[in-house]
């Protein structure tokens, strides 16, 4: 990953848990979190979403690469067709909306490859603001990133709030899009 993604994109502060020894001089730059120290000091991580540590700047470079359909600053990491597949709902269309709403405040959608994908505009004020075609993922500490191709926008919202707080996501999206944004 370092040679194929991080270095080409200029992600100089992104590390996989297997090279955690490189963090020795950088732990003081990271947000304090109770699970970080024990998991990045010689103990293997087992959660799928916990294999990387990064900075906001590096995360934003990755998000901008996705917004650029696999390319950033002249460096191509993924083909545009690959990003389109990743950001397209892959769930069977016969799955009813009621069975897709395990993330009810996120809006109507499905799953691409690694992302939640919005398939309909917000229907109620309780739903997060956003555009059809956006794709995103949340993090354990209430973090959020999303890519909104319709509005040519990538967002990284970094926080360290545990337990997970979906209200923060609603509020940041409302601040970005406006309370009345319909996603069209």
- For residues 77 and 123, membership in a common domain is answered with no
Show which of 51, 84, 117 is a domain's final residue.
84
Last residue of a domain, one of 84, 99, 126: 84
Which residue among 37, 63, 84 closes a domain?
84
> Do 78 and 127 sit in the same domain of this protein?
no
Are 134 and 79 found together in one domain? Answer: no
Reading phi first (left if > 0) and then psi (alpha if -120 to 50, else beta), residue 94 is in alpha
Q: Tell whether 80 and 91 lie within a shared domain.
A: no
CA distances from 75 to 5, 14, 54, 133, 146 (A): 10, 17, 20, 24, 21
Query: Under 8 Å CB-to-CB from 66, ≥6 apart: which residues?
Result: 83, 86, 87, 135, 147, 154
pLDDT digits (tens, 9 = 90+) for 162-174: 888 888 888 999 9
Distance of CA 74 to the CA centre of its chain: 22
For residues 126 and 132, the answer to whether their CB atoms sit within 8 Å is: no
pLDDT band of 122, cuts 50, 70, 90:
confident
What residues form DSSP beta bridges with 86?
none
Task: Answer yes or no: pTM beyond 0.85.
Answer: no
For 138-161, write each residue's pLDDT tens digit: 877 788 899 999 999 999 998 888
Q: What angle do CA 73, 75, 76 make, to 5 degrees?
A: 125
Q: Are residues 148 and 109 in the same domain?
A: yes
pLDDT tens digit string along 75-95?
Answer: 999 999 999 999 998 888 787
Domain that holds residue 53: 1-84
pLDDT given for residue 67 in this prediction: 98
């Amino acid at each position: 990953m370092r040679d194929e993604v991080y270095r080409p994109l200029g992600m100089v502060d992104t590390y996989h848990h297997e090279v955690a020894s490189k963090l020795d001089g950088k732990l003081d730059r990271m947000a304090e979190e109770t699970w970080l120290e024990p998991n990045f000091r010689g103990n293997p991580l087992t959660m799928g979403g916990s294999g990387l540590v990064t900075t906001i700047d590096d995360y934003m470079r990755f998000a901008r690469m996705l917004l650029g359909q696999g390319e950033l600053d002249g460096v191509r990491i993924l083909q545009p067709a690959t990003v389109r597949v990743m950001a397209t709902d892959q769930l069977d269309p016969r799955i009813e909306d009621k069975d897709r709403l395990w993330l009810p405040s996120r809006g109507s959608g499905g799953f691409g490859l690694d992302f939640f994908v919005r398939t309909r505009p917000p229907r109620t004020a309780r739903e997060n603001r956003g555009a059809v075609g956006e794709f995103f993922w949340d993090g354990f500490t209430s973090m959020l990133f999303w890519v909104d191709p319709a509005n040519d926008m990538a967002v990284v919202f970094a926080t360290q709030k545990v337990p997970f707080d979906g209200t923060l996501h609603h509020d940041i999206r409302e601040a970005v899009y406006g309370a009345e944004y319909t996603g069209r």
